[in-house]
């Protein structure tokens, strides 16, 4: 906060406040751009890793046969891929928006910002739910569940399982980045 000295006339104080607000805003825009680039990177990696099709030799008779493990085998992964594609595309658009604000050294209108961050909130909900769904399938595949008779499949679908696990991990990162983005905005806007 600008310190109030008895010598400072009100106009100087106002100017100091304005320059402080401008510094906070440009810091926010910089962090916004960095986080959105992170969001793009993590969602792209998660998307690419989840959308794999692999041919896996089966360890039981008939030996020599193989099964194709595709992400379309389980609906949770289809949902996950769709949401990750949307996140990836959305992060490109919003990065461009934030980057242009950074280059112009001006903030985008507060109406547009509130719109972007409202969509961020909705996307966080959807992305987190898809991460939960994929994570649950990956966990069931890894451990199985004897109570309901679902056997583990990761001993057969070995490398495919690893990819799915990595995809779930990067999805969690994406969700965390989105959360940080929204929290950063809330804190910055509340300080005004």
Q: Does 158 bind a copy of itself (CB under 8 A)?
A: no
Minimum distance, C-beta of residue 112 to a copy of itself, in the bound complex (Å):
10
Interior angle at CA 116, CA 103 and CA 124, nearest 5 = 120
| Closer of 24 and 145 to a copy of itself (Cβ) | 145
Interior angle at CA 69, CA 63 and CA 152, nearest 5 = 80
Only one of the segments 8-16, 34-42, 48-56, 174-182 lies at the binding site for a copy of itself (rule: CB under 8 A); that segment is 174-182
Q: Does 58 bind a copy of itself (CB under 8 A)?
A: no
How far apart, in whole angstroms, are the C-alpha atoms of residue 26 and residue 31? 9
Q: Coil, helix or strand for 69?
A: strand
Residues in 80-139 that interact with a copy of itself by CB under 8 A: 110-111, 113-114, 117-118, 121-122, 124-137, 139
Minimum distance, C-beta of residue 129 to a copy of itself, in the bound complex (Å):
3
Minimum distance, C-beta of residue 44 to a copy of itself, in the bound complex (Å):
20
The residue from 2, 37, 142, 153 that contacts a copy of itself (CB under 8 A) is 153
Size of interface with a copy of itself, in residues (CB under 8 A): 49
**Residue from 60, 182, 49 nearest 123 by CA:** 182
Only one of the segments 2-10, 15-23, 53-61, 177-185 lies at the binding site for a copy of itself (rule: CB under 8 A); that segment is 177-185
Interacting residue ranges for a copy of itself, rule: CB under 8 A: 73-76, 110-111, 113-114, 117-118, 121-122, 124-137, 139-141, 145, 147-151, 153, 175-176, 178-179, 182-183, 185-187, 189-192
């Amino acid at each position: 906060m600008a310190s109030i000295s008895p010598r400072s006339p009100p106009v100087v104080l106002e100017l100091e406040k304005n320059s402080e607000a401008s510094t906070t805003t440009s810091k926010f825009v910089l962090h916004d751009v960095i986080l959105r680039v992170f969001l793009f990177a993590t969602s792209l990696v998660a998307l690419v890793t989840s959308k794999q099709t692999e041919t896996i030799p089966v360890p039981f008779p008939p030996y020599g046969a193989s099964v194709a493990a595709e992400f379309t085998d389980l609906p949770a992964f289809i949902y996950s891929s769709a949401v990750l594609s949307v996140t990836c595309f959305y992060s490109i658009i919003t990065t461009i928006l934030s980057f242009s604000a950074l280059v112009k050294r001006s903030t985008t209108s507060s109406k547009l910002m509130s719109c972007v961050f409202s969509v961020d909130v909705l996307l966080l909900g959807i992305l987190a739910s898809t991460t939960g769904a994929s994570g649950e399938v990956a966990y069931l595949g890894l451990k199985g569940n004897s109570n309901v008779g679902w056997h583990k499949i990761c001993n057969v679908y070995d490398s495919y399982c690893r990819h799915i696990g990595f995809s779930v991990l990067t999805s969690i990162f994406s969700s965390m980045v989105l959360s940080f983005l929204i929290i950063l905005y809330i804190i910055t806007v509340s300080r005004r």
